[in-house]
């Protein structure tokens, strides 16, 4: 009897699954997210179910080891969304950062009880680390202070902007001990904590759909079981390359989206757009180079060397600057169609500036790089 070969369809890849969520659920909502500040919660949960937040943190059978090889997969998933909507891509970064904090810690309780939910999108949340990251590089004072209490810390202070939050969400926070100045502790804080309030007082020019709140903490008790690092120095050095590199997902996605807008405009306007100084082909080459650099760096996120950290900062700086240039290019190529209130090009331009100002912002990156380069040339160590 002749053998009948049954050819089974290959399982869809992570990126196929992410693109399906984008096509089915996100594209139609992009204008509402941008103009009405709609928070794409259902999209985020579906992206989580598709595996977008699990790549960099989950080992076999849901085990919770930080997996360096999965870092680029997390970045690519974010990029596939960022091609269409930066608000959603940024919420993905918030979620990925939260998962990263837990996965990189030694906290068995959080790895067991919180991480699987964060990695699957069942539990959502973000990160309030802009302020401490600016504090550690001498830019602003720390905003959260704590005193040691029985079984934990009592925290007070306020963070002006923390995104991807809600009443049942969680976020990473750093506080300084009142009784030991210079001693910093990091914990994962539930938004439902007693004494914690979320206030939405600011309207942004873009990224308004990211549920960005001012977080006020009035004598909030944070139990030891939620602490991921105490003190923070060695842990911070471990998490920071992944934290920064994952932001490249927003850049890679937005640059791709901007290139497509330039290419679309070519059909009708190519005869005149050809005179613009920056063309889509050049951006595509730049994007390929950037993607390659990020992929290489994402292979070794725990490399402790200054040379590696310098390369991560350089890639992040290049990503932010290329994002703004590409979105500017898309605006010029699209012309008036991009200038209408619901046009994609003007939205992409507003979104692009976020990549350049979210911590570490372009100016902070330049400061960090200048200090590292200066330290190298003087043969001394950089502040870390
Ligand atoms: C939409 C959005 C979402 C964000 N989400 C997060 C997040 O999830 N987690 C997080 O930690 N950070 C978040 N941030 C903060 C962000 O990462 C940067 O810290 C912020 O954009 C400023 O960075 P900068 O280095 O340019 O600082 P600068 O803008 O140079 O200085 C920032 C400082 O300005 C002061 N300031 C406060 N309010 C205002 C105001 N209304 N106008 C002007 N100055 C003010 C504060 O002292 C603040 O620390 C968010 C910011 C935005 C705009």
Query: What pLDDT digit, counting tens, does each position of 21-46 carry?
Result: 999 999 999 999 999 999 999 999 99
pLDDT tens digits for range 116-151: 999 999 999 999 999 999 999 999 999 999 999 999
Domains, the chain, with CATH or none: 14-125 (1.10.540.10), 127-232 (2.40.110.10), 235-378 (1.20.140.10)
Q: In what helix (H) or strand (E) does residue 147 lie, and over which residues does it extend?
A: strand 144-149
pLDDT tens digits for range 298-334: 999 999 999 999 999 999 999 999 999 999 999 999 9
Angle subtended at Cα 105 by Cα 101 and Cα 107, rounded to the nearest 5 degrees: 115
Query: What is the atom index within ligand 1 of the atom nearest the CA of 360?
Result: 25
Query: What is the atom index within ligand 1 of the atom nearest the CA of 204?
Result: 1
CA 25 to ligand 1 center in whole angstroms: 30
Q: What is the pLDDT of residue 4?
A: 61
pLDDT tens digits for range 109-122: 999 999 999 999 99
Q: What is the pLDDT of residue 208?
A: 96
Query: What is the atom index within ligand 1 of the atom nearest the CA of 202?
Result: 41
Nearest CA to ligand 1 atom 47: 140
Name which of 138, 140, 179, 178 is nearest 159 in CA terms: 140
Query: What is the atom index within ligand 1 of the atom nearest the CA of 207?
Result: 1
CA 48 to ligand 1 center in whole angstroms: 27
CA 78 to ligand 1 center in whole angstroms: 22
Contact, 155 vs 222, CB < 8 A?
yes
Name the band, by pLDDT with cuts 50, 70 and 90, for residue 379: very low
Nearest CA to ligand 1 atom 1: 207
Mean pLDDT (whole number) for 143-164: 98
CA 160 to ligand 1 center in whole angstroms: 7
Q: What is the pLDDT of residue 63?
A: 45
CA 363 to ligand 1 center in whole angstroms: 13
Query: What is the atom index within ligand 1 of the atom nearest the CA of 358?
Result: 17
Name the band, by pLDDT with cuts 50, 70 and 90, for residue 377: low
Nearest CA to ligand 1 atom 45: 160
**For the chain, percent of residues with pLDDT exceeding 70:** 93
Q: What is the pLDDT of residue 384?
A: 38
pLDDT tops 60 at residue 68: no
Q: What is the pLDDT of residue 62?
A: 41
Average pLDDT, the chain: 93
Nearest CA to ligand 1 atom 29: 357
| Residues contacting ligand 1 via CB (< 6 Å) | 94, 126-130, 140, 160-163, 204, 207, 210, 212, 357-359, 361, 364
Residue 142 corresponds to which tokens in the numbers above? 């720390």
Query: What is the atom index within ligand 1 of the atom nearest the CA of 129?
Result: 11
pLDDT tops 90 at residue 372: yes
Q: What is the pLDDT of residue 320?
A: 98
Q: What is the pLDDT of residue 104?
A: 94
Please give the model's pTM, rounded to 2 decimal places. 0.94
Name the band, by pLDDT with cuts 50, 70 and 90, for residue 9: confident
Q: Is 140 left (phi over 0), alpha (psi -120 to 50) or beta?
A: beta
CA 161 to ligand 1 center in whole angstroms: 6
β-strand partners of 196: 217
Q: What is the pLDDT of residue 1?
A: 54
Nearest CA to ligand 1 atom 14: 161
Name the band, by pLDDT with cuts 50, 70 and 90, for residue 12: confident
Choice from 163, 171, 173, 246 to test ligand 1 binding pocket (greatest atom count within 8 A of CB): 163
Name the band, by pLDDT with cuts 50, 70 and 90, for residue 5: low
Name the band, by pLDDT with cuts 50, 70 and 90, for residue 10: confident
Mean pLDDT (whole number) for 230-247: 97
CA distance 249 to 81: 9
Alpha helix stretches (DSSP H) within the chain:
14-21, 30-36, 41-49, 71-82, 86-103, 108-113, 115-120, 130-136, 233-246, 248-273, 280-297, 306-334, 336-339, 344-357, 362-378
């Amino acid at each position: 009897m002749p053998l009948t070969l049954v050819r089974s369809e290959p399982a869809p890849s992570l990126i196929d699954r992410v693109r399906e969520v984008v096509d089915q659920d996100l594209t139609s909502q992009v204008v509402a997210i941008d103009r009405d500040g709609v928070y794409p919660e259902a999209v985020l949960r579906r992206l989580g179910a598709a595996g977008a937040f699990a790549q960099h943190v989950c080992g076999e059978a849901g085990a919770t080891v930080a997996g360096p090889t999965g870092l680029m997969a997390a970045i690519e998933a974010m990029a596939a969304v960022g091609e269409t909507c930066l608000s959603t891509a940024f919420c993905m970064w918030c979620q990925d950062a939260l998962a990263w904090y837990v996965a990189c810690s030694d906290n068995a309780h959080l790895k067991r009880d919180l991480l699987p939910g964060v990695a699957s999108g069942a539990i959502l949340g973000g990160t309030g680390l802009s302020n401490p990251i600016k504090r550690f590089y001498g830019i602003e004072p720390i905003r959260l202070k704590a005193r040691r209490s029985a079984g934990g810390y009592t925290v007070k202070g306020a963070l002006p902007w923390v995104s991807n939050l809600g009443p049942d969400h969680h976020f990473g926070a750093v506080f300084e001990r009142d009784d030991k100045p210079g001693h910093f502790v990091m914990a994962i804080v539930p938004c439902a904590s007693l004494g914690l309030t979320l206030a939405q007082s600011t309207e942004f020019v873009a990224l308004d759909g990211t549920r960005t709140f001012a977080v006020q903490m009035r004598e909030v008790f944070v139990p030891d079981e939620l602490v991921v690092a105490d003190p923070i120095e060695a842990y911070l050095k471990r998490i920071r390359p992944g934290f920064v590199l994952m932001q490249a997902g927003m850049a890679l996605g937005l640059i791709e989206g901007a290139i497509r807008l330039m290419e679309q405009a070519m059909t009708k306007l190519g005869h005149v757009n050809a005179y613009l100084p920056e063309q889509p082909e050049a951006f595509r080459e730049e994007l390929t180079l950037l993607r390659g650099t990020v992929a290489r760096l994402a292979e070794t996120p725990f490399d402790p060397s200054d040379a590696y950290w310098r390369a991560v900062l350089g890639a992040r700086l290049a990503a932010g600057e290329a994002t703004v240039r590409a979105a500017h290019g898309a605006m010029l190529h699209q012309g008036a169609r991009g200038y209408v209130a619901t046009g994609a090009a003007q939205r992409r331009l507003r979104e692009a500036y976020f990549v350049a100002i979210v911590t570490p912002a372009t100016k902070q990156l330049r400061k960090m790089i200048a200090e590292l380069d200066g330290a190298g040339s003087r043969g001394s160590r950089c502040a870390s």
